Amino acid sequence: MGCSSCSTGKDGQPRGCKNNGTCGTDGCNKLTVFDWLSNMALPNGEKPFDCIEVRFKNSRKEFFRNTENLSLSIGDIVATQAQSGHDIGMVTLTGELVKVQMKRKKVDFNDAELPKVYRKASQKDIDIWQKCRDREEAIKKRAREIAIILKLQMKISDVEFQGDGSKATFYYTAEDRVDFRQLIKDMAKAFGIRIEMRQIGYRQEAQRLGGIGSCGRELCCSTWLTDFRSVSTSAARYQQLSLNPQKLAGQCGKLKCCLNYELDIYLDALKDFPAQDTKLFTEKGLAFCQKTDIFKERLWFSYKDDPAAWHELSVAQVNEILQKNKKKEKVASLEEYAMENLADIEELVVFENVVGQDSLTRFDKPKRSKNSRNRNRNKKRRAGGANSGNQKPAQGTAVKPKPKPKPKPKPKSNQRAKPNPNQKSKQQNKQQGRAKNANRSKRRPKNG
């Protein structure tokens, strides 16, 4: 944003736009038009085009005739003619490009009944306009409450005050026709102003309110898109997209406008492809098309009897089989063509770092292997053993305690320890002791 109100504050925090979309540099506005003729001077004797484009709240733009020959530029606040009273808007385009925009929107610039520009807005006009803009949210909330009390099937989406504060336009959406005569009476009593109701579509509602799309950018309809073309599900089918309404629908509830952006390119690419319902006749059986890849120019076919097994074919191979089928000739099988494709696959190209870009892992520490860790431990132990004689450790150095020996695991209660063949049992020791005692008693002499 180029305006000063959108820049960062003294504390480094963003202040945000305080002009509510009416900044002088035209950077916060919707549906802006770049004036690429602003730096070019008119030929001698030519007068500038006497019509200007003025933008009001959100996406409402109208054309006015500059009968007073005011020197206006983009961003000026002007007072314009209205049905009753005057309105306040901002100039968004001047010069010869206004004529191009009027032709595009089918507005006759020679029409004598074209509304006029009165003057540049004074400070009093701007103050009244800002007060009316501040009242819009509270009035919109109260109007919704009145509509709910009257049980009207409608949604009031936006309120726009006229610049002099004499009239308010309520924009609403509804499925069917709504009888809002009683609603106008109640709102006129509550607000004390003239009321105008204007029904808009769901796409126009999203255009006026704006928002962030699933792509992360602002909605196209609220930033640069001016015409709404019909979008059908066939656009998603041509682009091989899944027909998921939650992904294909925008914030307006309709199909996304961006589905039409690349549709022409897909249609041009599909001219060389056979139809989706193409059938191939082979000696092994009838084959149907299951999938198409436009970028790789590949098609996948499967037999009627074995739909789970898909065979990849190129567009040229499919056209070749179709030519033979037109001559009432059948090919042996699809496997032959699929094997040819596997044989024609080239080796993967290894892209070298010719630009000299740095590696993404250049700051990562290399992982050490277990062997290097063990070597470092042994070196530390040896160094510690050499210094462990009569030398005392230096002050400030922590002495690591020696690791305690691990206790031997005891055998579980339900498992017996394995007998050691070299170890004698207790019973054998007792028997050997008894035999030694008997031998000793024999050797002793008897007392006479």
pLDDT tens across 118-127, in order? Answer: 999 999 999 9
For the chain, give the longest Cα–Cα distance: 168
Task: With beta carbons less than 8 A apart as the criterion, state whether 206 and 221 touch.
Answer: yes
* Matching residue, tokens 């070196």: 379
Is the whole model's pTM more than 0.75, yes or no?
A: no
How confident is the model over 376-417, as pLDDT tens digits? Answer: 777 777 776 655 455 555 554 555 555 666 666 655 545 455
Q: Quote the tokens at residue 66.
A: 């500059």
- pLDDT-derived band of residue 256, with 50, 70 and 90 as boundaries? very high
Element (H, E) at 235: helix 233-238
- Would you list the DSSP string of 333-362? -HHHHHHHHHHTPPPPP-----S-PPPTTT
Question: How many Cα atoms are found within 13 Å in the side-chain-facing hemisphere of 84?
Answer: 9
Instruction: Give the type of residue at 350.
Output: V
Instruction: Give the type of residue at 399.
Output: V
Q: Quote the tokens at residue 39.
A: 């730096």
**For residue 148, is pLDDT > 80?**
yes
Task: With beta carbons less than 8 A apart as the criterion, state whether 208 and 179 touch.
Answer: no
pLDDT, average across residues 265-275: 88
| Residue 415 DSSP symbol | S
Q: Quote the tokens at residue 29.
A: 């506005």
**78 CB-contact burial (10 Å; exposed 0-12 / middle 13-18 / buried 19+):** buried
